[in-house]
Amino acid sequence: DHHLKTHMRLHTGEKPYHCSHCDRQFVQVANLRRHLRVHTGERPYACETCNSKFCDSNQLK
């Protein structure tokens, strides 16, 4: 099962997804994709009120 395999990486320390711009490594590919926005400057999430843009949807809260 994919979810179990991903979960087990937390226990084994396996981080198979590597950033090509720095030394960061990640357990989940989604976390790598989010991290890459630090290097690309991509900010796909915009506040509907003030139009400020963010690289992570959690920053809108």
CATH number 3.30.160.60 is the correct assignment for the domain at 2-60: yes
pLDDT of 58 reads: 87
> What does pTM read for this prediction?
0.78
Q: Are 29 and 17 in contact (CB under 8 A)?
A: yes
Sequence-ordered list of residues with C-beta below 8 angstroms from that of 11, at least 6 positions apart, any chain = none
Residue 9 above 80 pLDDT? yes
Domain boundaries, the chain: 2-60
Sequence-ordered list of residues with C-beta below 8 angstroms from that of 39, at least 6 positions apart, any chain = 19, 21, 22
Q: How far, in whole angstroms, is CA 4 from its chain's centroid?
A: 20
Tokens of 44: 């796909």
Average of pLDDT values for 36-57? Answer: 94
